[in-house]
Structure 1
Amino acid sequence: MVEKFAFLVHPRNTLREDMGLLFGPPFRLIPEAALRTALRRLPLPPMVTGQLHRVDSPQDVAGSIITVPLTPTQLLTLPRNQVQARISAAIDKAKDLGASVVGLGALTAPASAGGKAFARRTDIGVTNGNAFTAAMTLLAMERLLVRLPADTLIALVGATGSVGTCLTRLLARKHAGRLLLVARNRGRLETLAEEVRSDDLAVSVSTDMADVRNAGLVVLLTSAPEAILRTEHLGQGAVVLDDTVPRNTDEGLLKSRPDVTIIDGGLVEIPGFDLKGCSIGLAPKLAYACLAETMLLALSGHRGHFSIGAPEVHQAEHLLGLAARYRHLGFQLAPFQSFGRKLGAFDYPETAPLFSGKEVVTCAA
């Protein structure tokens, strides 16, 4: 028996647009402030807004998309007990739908301490999707670095977060060069830097976004509700891999800085699945890596929690193995795009493998 999964999403800060997509054009006429107030004050239940079906079994529901009725700002600023109660209700909904595992999409993960708030639940498995996100981000970085100078400084913004910590450890085991770790807590930065620093990898830390100007490759791993990267943060010709949902870059940046390339990070191809119902803001046959992680766990029959808090390197490695097992359904890094538009200049051959044996790193938990 194939296990079912569920994945949690939430509206973006552009509420009228999202409500119009979910419930019809008339909802676009409601003032933004009124919609925000309604989400905050009314006891709105979580809603099933989409379903995923395998193309080889279209009659069966493989997984459900469940919308938590809170905006990004509300998820991060309302009292934590209220926010987590809303997310918990969505997890209850997933359980009622028969899901064995539920993925915490977008800001539902940081709003619940990476899923730690639900660690005591034994009725359904929870994952924040960050292990596969870290693995796919590493593969994307490798494909970008071959086009950049050998001494390119890499800046990981949000390095001490859930994805950032795992990615930093993965990168340190494969990459020789210069690495800048950026986050708000210097103590945590110094601890992580000391762990991964080596004779081959020079690691520096900063709490100042201005220092990102020195980087040729900038990877955004933050959990802010809106864009944080500005033109003054970027050096000439910088390449930005935005791995955030909601994204922390604004398309207007491309107009003010045409020398900069911004790439949508964390995207995976899933040609073996069809999404029916709501849009998740991506072209057909594409998924965020956090959703793909949830799908892989269900396909493999995983039981219990998986990625809670900061994922371990061995968890990212395990998911790469699962992606190889279910490659007939997809689960490969998607061709690069920027704000939904294909980027041929930074693309890679269609025949490029998901990963080679050398890309799988074995280490202790």
Structure 2
Amino acid sequence: MNDAPSAPRHPVAFLVHPRTNVARDLGGILRPLGWVPNRVYDAALRRFDLPAPVTGTLRYADRPAETAAWLLTVPLTPASLLQGGRRVQRIIDGAVSKAAALGARTVGLGALTAPATAGGAALRHRTDVGITNGNAFTAAMTFLGAERLLSLCPPDARIALVGASGSVGTPLTQLLARRTQQPLLLVARNEARLLSLQASLPAGRAEVTTDMRRVREADLVVLLTSATDAVLRSEHLKEGAVVLDDTQPRNTSPELLQERPDVRVIDGGLVSVPGVQRKGFIGLPQGVAYACLAETLLLGLAGHQGHYSLGRPRLEQAEEMLALAGRFSHLGFTLAAPHSFGQPVELEEAAAGSAPVPMGPLAGAQA
């Protein structure tokens, strides 16, 4: 990284978009917007190429007079973002241009704006700002979250990673393979990518499958998919399974807990940032941020120049982000307290034979 100790911090921008319920999310930004039916938004966002408005700002507690980041809401629905194409990339590129005009030196891609641009690779041509997809720090924080949840599982628990060969799943799988002993089951649609990922791991460390029914073998399920609705369903889970849902929009449904009260679903990729003051709606309480947003902030704090995480981040980048989190720990950047569907929850005590997981920005960072 080009982040010499003397490099001054610089402002950043982060791209968000409405989730599946567009009216509810826009109502969080401005209450009257929540009164417009979703069908109206869906039609308008499909028909018109609208500019991305600034819908929030962030400041640091140690420099409250300075704008640290701008939040820009990309006017596209999850369905449009997953469909992709030139129009979608043009609208996202326009949002990046607006961020640059505001003064941002780094732009982070939130939620589905990352896969819609091939993990940011489609924006590699930008030389005026650096782009990051946020997936390096997301992988690191998801690893710490999985490590914490293993204390609820039997010592020989099996871990299934659904979406293992994706941009977050690849470095996460490599972290788990190096720093845990539990057997891994790697699940995705593309068998060739799964086999390539398996070949990068120590021999015999993981099995691969394209069959979602095999997820039922796992005690801990890490969900890393990109879809507009629930991917993980009741029939995919064994008795007492723990799910770490790292998806936005969510690929689990609250109804899952009603159908399967034996199952626990914990939100993944959440970071505690008490030193970051936010004005604007992102669907999270104050003092909590998504890991992809936190990665963008950390790069700005470090004064990083140029692009960072594009496509699939390297394992080394996930480790670099953990180091940066430690460097700026006075502002937070630690694993957030457990949440389930946005609500704080208490985890049970560690199961017999398992040690509680130490908390902190560098927990699990040692080889």
User: Which of the five TM-score ranges fits, normalised by the shorter chain?
Assistant: over 0.9
Q: Which amino acid aligns with 1:74?
A: S
Aligned to 2:95: 90
Report how many aligned residue pairs link the two structures.
Answer: 355
**Equivalent-residue separation in structure 1 for 2:52 and 2:281 (angstroms):** 16
The Cα of 1:57 is off from its aligned counterpart by 2.2
The counterpart of 2:139, out of the listed 134, 139, 161, is: 134
Aligned to 2:75: 69
The superposition leaves residues 146-192 of structure 1 with CA deviations (integer Å, 9 ceiling, x where unpaired) of 23112111000000100001111111111223110000011111121
**Equivalent-residue separation in structure 1 for 2:275 and 2:28 (angstroms):** 25
Deviates more, 1:93-102 or 1:145-154: 145-154
**Equivalent-residue separation in structure 2 for 1:192 and 1:346 (angstroms):** 33
Matched, 1:187 2:197: no
Aligned to 2:243: 240
Matched, 1:33 2:29: no
**Equivalent-residue separation in structure 2 for 1:98 and 1:346 (angstroms):** 45
Match runs of 1:109-128 below 5 Å:
109-128=114-133
Match runs of 1:251-266 below 5 Å:
251-266=254-269
Aligned pair in 2 of structure 1 residues 49, 243: CA closer, same or farther (>3 Å)? same
Aligned to 2:58: 52
Helix, strand or coil for the counterpart of 2:347?
helix
Helix, strand or coil for the counterpart of 2:106?
strand
Deviates more, 1:103-112 or 1:168-177: 168-177
Aligned to 1:314: 316
RMSD after superposition: 1.7
Aligned to 2:347: 345
The counterpart of 2:23, out of the listed 16, 33, 42, is: 16
Match runs of 1:145-294 below 5 Å:
145-198=150-203, 201=205, 203-276=206-279, 278-294=280-296
Aligned pair in 2 of structure 1 residues 167, 132: CA closer, same or farther (>3 Å)? same
**Equivalent-residue separation in structure 1 for 2:27 and 2:289 (angstroms):** 22
Helix, strand or coil for the counterpart of 1:37?
helix
Q: Which amino acid aligns with 1:308?
A: L
TM-score, L = length of structure 2: 0.93
Unaligned runs of 5+ in 2: 1-7, 351-355
**Equivalent-residue separation in structure 1 for 2:49 and 2:200 (angstroms):** 45
Aligned to 2:10: 3
Q: Which amino acid aligns with 1:36?
A: D
**Equivalent-residue separation in structure 1 for 2:25 and 2:37 (angstroms):** 13
Q: Which amino acid aligns with 2:173?
A: T
Question: Is 1:94–1:102's contact at 8 Å kept on the other side of the alignment?
Answer: yes
**Equivalent-residue separation in structure 1 for 2:142 and 2:201 (angstroms):** 18
**Equivalent-residue separation in structure 2 for 1:298 and 1:147 (angstroms):** 36
Q: Which amino acid aligns with 2:194?
A: L
TM-score, L = length of structure 1: 0.94
The Cα of 1:260 is off from its aligned counterpart by 0.3
Helix, strand or coil for the counterpart of 1:161?
coil
The superposition leaves residues 262-298 of structure 1 with CA deviations (integer Å, 9 ceiling, x where unpaired) of 000000011111111x210111100000000000000
**Equivalent-residue separation in structure 1 for 2:349 and 2:40 (angstroms):** 43
Question: Is 2:25–2:283's contact at 8 Å kept on the other side of the alignment?
Answer: no
Question: Is 1:39–1:69's contact at 8 Å kept on the other side of the alignment?
Answer: yes
**Equivalent-residue separation in structure 2 for 1:198 and 1:355 (angstroms):** 27
Question: Is 2:322–2:365's contact at 8 Å kept on the other side of the alignment?
Answer: no
Question: Is 1:317–1:360's contact at 8 Å kept on the other side of the alignment?
Answer: no
Question: Is 1:335–1:347's contact at 8 Å kept on the other side of the alignment?
Answer: no
Aligned to 1:298: 300
Q: Which amino acid aligns with 1:172?
A: A
